[in-house]
Structure 1
Amino acid sequence: MAVTLKMQKDGRTFRPCWYGVYESDNKRRVVNLGIRWRGTPPASGSLRDAGDEAFEKSREKAEEALSKFRDEAARKGNAAHLVERLIEAKTGRAVSHVRIDELAERWRNVGRRARPSPVYIQACDALFRRFGDFMRSRNPAAVYLYEVTSDDAAIFAGLCRDSLATATATSQIQRLRSSFARLLPPGVMNPFADVVMKGGDEAIHRRPFSPVELRAILDTARPDEFLYPLVVTAACTGMRRGDVCGLRWDAVDLEGAMLTVKTSKSGRRVEIPIFAPLMAVLKERVGNGGKFVFPEAEAMLRENPSGLTYRFKKLLVEALDAAPATPDGAEPTAPAEVEAEALAAIREHVRPGPKRERMIEAMRLYAAGESYRDIERATGMPRPTLSGYFQEIGQMIGCQFIRGAHKATGYKSAIARVTREAREQGRNAASVRDWHTMRATWVTLALTAGVPMELVRRVTGHATADIVLRHYFQPGKAAFQSALLDAMPEVLTGRAAPKQITAALVKANPKQELSDLAAKLATGTATKAERARFKKLAAKV
């Protein structure tokens, strides 16, 4: 055990503080003691010699600080060792400590009920890699997960909120919280446990379709033999996209007019009546020879889920946009014609390294006629990366060569206009009209019509009424107006009020009271007590 001084980068002067050198677990460790040296160091430059009086006094203080530090480290080490021995005795398993740079790999290999998708794995790897870079910059001394402090977690969470959309930031913080909870040794505090999630006030919710819009969507989709059955199923059941595409025949009871589906997200079993439009769709597909009702959609969901999203959003543009999109711009140059120029530009403008090799490989495959999907399968490069590479190459050579780019331009702007909404915070606009909007539409129409909350939850599989109210029940202006006109007296509305129900009758009829409270929630006039009463009734009815 000794104290020492370290040289500055210039190699001529000492750093301002004393450092302590000691051994722990057969490893040499160096720690900054925080004690500044004073006076004049030895003229020889060797700390084996003595400096002046002030210098020697600062050395003595440093040695005392090192002694205290080492004793404290020994006490903590012994306590930690005893805890580990106790855990090993109780569980029969040795305690393992996960390094920060191992987080992605260890989380990837955690036991799960179902194998995670490649997209999920890629997102996790990117998050953990970014967290590792952050820790190396902020707290380079931290090597293991248990060395990450609550302050480290809070600062990283703040960076996520500042640079990402609210939902994305919340999802990433929750993922870190879950991974730390799973991989930290028992009894070690999770640094992300105290990170406060942002409230939902800033969230942008999906905007449900009105009955008129829903009719327009169905009418527009009717000629599309692939999309129309999926849209009808989503509209009539409120199921998620994955459950619609993965609907199995063993979940369909045509005779009893009922679907019994185990949801892919929560695993809950839900029961959904089969309405007439859906019954017609199902009967047309009886005897298709497969276990899935929509085998083509199930295959597309596995192989090209973004294609499903694009086709649905394109349908929304055709059904709801006042100014339909039209292809514009000149046709791009064939990739094969610019291959040599593109490869030369890559070698000139991109410095040697993995990125340059990936760009060259992608450009050669694309010029050979391969599609984005084919290149993605062959190289493992995701579609956004490929798109970014080709756009970058196009800027280098001053030529557009991406196939179909001129056709996509008009639809992309129209899709953004119809389905997205700008955020006050976050880089990307929020998607407010997509497949999941069908689910929000079903819930909103059902509750506005007075369907009891318990029946709605029985169809959607939601655990609590609060989730339904917060994320799915989003009535529009027409629903507000209708509810207000029905609730307010004639002296204010100028029209005859609906038949009044006495308070005693309402109390005797919980379903009617539930319907009345739902109308107040729709108008935003429900008090805190009425909201609590609504949740209580919804759980009973």
Structure 2
Amino acid sequence: MGLELRRDKNHNLRSKWWYGRYIINGKRHFTNLGIEVKGNAPESLRKRGDMAFECSRTLAEAKLKELVSEAHSRKTAAHHLEELYEIKAGEGIEQVPLTEMEMRWEFLPAKKPRTEQATKAQKTNIRQFREFMNERYPSVQNMSQVTRPMVLAWLTSLNERKLSGASYNVKLSVMRGLFEQLGPEAGILKNPFAGIPYRSLKTVHRQPFTEKELNAILENCDAIIRPVVLVGMCTAMRRGDCCKLKWESVDLRNGFISVKTSKTGEMAEIPLFPILRAELENRPRNSEFVFPEAEEMYRTNVHGLTWRFKKALKDAKIKNTQSDNENASVKASVKDFHSLRTTWITMALTAGVPMELVRRVTGHSTVEIVLKHYFRPKREEFRHALESSLPKALTGGIEERFDLPQAVLGIGEEMESLTPEELTKKFKALVAKVADMTDAEKEAAVLAA
């Protein structure tokens, strides 16, 4: 049993941590003790260093003794547990290596089918925990060897990285669930993640773009990202669904896109607006994907798409795209590609489009999700939408809401009975009415038509 420092060939420290080496039942162990090396380290541990160094050496020696004592106790307890288990079950306890955690998780039952995106994200969280354990506690090979102090050390490392509350909670949740479900077959006496509280959340919501900003973004997109952005603007689809859109999901004859969303697995049915329909009609069909270049980039270099959209925002001179949280290591985006989805939903609901139609387009399963995360009207637009929709008794006698499609149909029905002068007068009045409409009302008129 002894302490060690990790040095390079020039005898300089390669790590700021003390390491310990010991043997339990003939098996050698080498582990990071979690004690930081202080002061000036001598060339050899046979020599004494300064006071700060010797203090850290004393702490490391105490930690090593504690680990060895704990290892002996754990070995004895594990031996008794295995004997008891064998007597009752007639078989030995299976040990689940940390290296198998990702694979084992994938076969665990879930409340609903996991999407490819969610599976990749969760397996990444498990892998990162395994890599932390391998770096800090290399002697730990099986899940049953993971202790509460090790878990707390991992959570502390997440806090030091200044992860958002949401990211922290997701990582804690997936590891807690993994150890809970695999516990009986992995010989885990008590889930080391049990009872650890989640962090309180301060949700940062995406903000919608204005009509002027949408036009500016389109004008500054490059050839790869522009059609993807156009789809996002007109359909409220997520970026991945836009990039992976297939021709089989596009019905140009009836003017609809029908896709199963990658995140929720819900079916979304989206009408094709004229600007998007014209874009799709002019695209070549040389792949199963509508945008093969974007699909390849999403699959092989998703950061390239992120960079392109950020550049378009910058060139369009759109400001305040990130939250003002100074304590976060990475500031959350409040205006990014996903804001196109927020924009569509906000404009639709503000204009009076029924919630059921909005959910049919977005693929959301509940009203609460739409209202909580996506409905972000600005105060003036919100006020005008309410005044346009509520009875005059509540709004103070505001004139009735102008129904553009009905007005156009009305003129069409009267055309044969009107003189050219009367028809011109009615069209001028209609143009004036349209000029007074808000962007939200125009959007609603397009949807209604």
CA contact (8 A) 1:98 1:184 kept: no
1:260-309 C-alpha deviation (Å, 9 max, x unpaired): 11222333322222222211111112x52221111111112122211111
1:308 paired with 2:305, answer yes
Q: Which moved more, 1:298-307 or 1:246-255?
A: 298-307
Q: In 2, Cα distance between the equivalents of 1:279 and 1:73?
A: 67
Match of 2:163 in 1: 164
Shift of 1:107: 1.2
TM-score calculated relative to the size of structure 2: 0.60
Distance verdict in 2 for CA 1:98–1:479, change over 3 Å: farther
Distance verdict in 2 for CA 1:70–1:172, change over 3 Å: closer
Which among 255, 264, 267 is matched to residue 265 of structure 2? Answer: 267
CA contact (8 A) 1:206 1:433 kept: yes
SS of corresponding position for 2:259: strand
Match of 2:429 in 1: none
Q: In 1, Cα distance between the equivalents of 2:297 and 2:345?
A: 27
Shift of 1:239: 0.9
CA contact (8 A) 1:245 1:294 kept: yes
1:432 paired with 2:430, answer no
Match of 1:107 in 2: 102
Q: In 1, Cα distance between the equivalents of 2:381 and 2:133?
A: 45
Shift of 1:70: 10
CA contact (8 A) 2:352 2:385 kept: no
Distance verdict in 2 for CA 1:477–1:115, change over 3 Å: closer
Distance verdict in 2 for CA 1:441–1:145, change over 3 Å: same
Match of 2:232 in 1: 234
Amino acid paired to 2:280: L
Matches within 5 A, 1:372-411: none
Q: In 1, Cα distance between the equivalents of 2:288 and 2:74?
A: 67
CA contact (8 A) 1:164 1:425 kept: no
SS of corresponding position for 2:258: strand
Match of 1:470 in 2: 372
SS of corresponding position for 1:320: coil
SS of corresponding position for 1:271: strand
Match of 1:176 in 2: 175
Q: In 2, Cα distance between the equivalents of 1:242 and 1:135?
A: 38
Amino acid paired to 2:171: Q
SS of corresponding position for 2:268: strand
In structure 2, runs of 5+ residues without a counterpart are 5-23, 29-72, 108-113, 402-449
1:77-99 C-alpha deviation (Å, 9 max, x unpaired): 4444456x37x7xxxxx853224
Q: In 1, Cα distance between the equivalents of 2:274 and 2:74?
A: 76
Match of 2:281 in 1: 283
Q: In 1, Cα distance between the equivalents of 2:351 and 2:295?
A: 32
Distance verdict in 2 for CA 1:485–1:428, change over 3 Å: same
Q: In 2, Cα distance between the equivalents of 1:213 and 1:226?
A: 19
Match of 1:197 in 2: 198
Distance verdict in 2 for CA 1:453–1:198, change over 3 Å: farther
CA contact (8 A) 1:166 1:426 kept: no
Q: In 2, Cα distance between the equivalents of 1:7 and 1:130?
A: 23
Shift of 1:161: 3.8
Shift of 1:238: 1.0
Amino acid paired to 2:164: A
CA contact (8 A) 2:322 2:331 kept: yes
Which among 126, 132, 150 is matched to residue 128 of structure 2? Answer: 126
Length, aligned pairs only: 330
Task: Compute the RMSD of aligned alpha carbons.
Answer: 4.3
SS of corresponding position for 1:196: coil
Q: Give identity over the alignment, percent.
A: 37
Amino acid paired to 2:198: M
Amino acid paired to 1:434: D
Which among 354, 368, 373 is matched to residue 452 of structure 1? Answer: 354
Amino acid paired to 1:447: L
Amino acid paired to 1:208: P
Q: In 2, Cα distance between the equivalents of 1:229 and 1:290?
A: 16
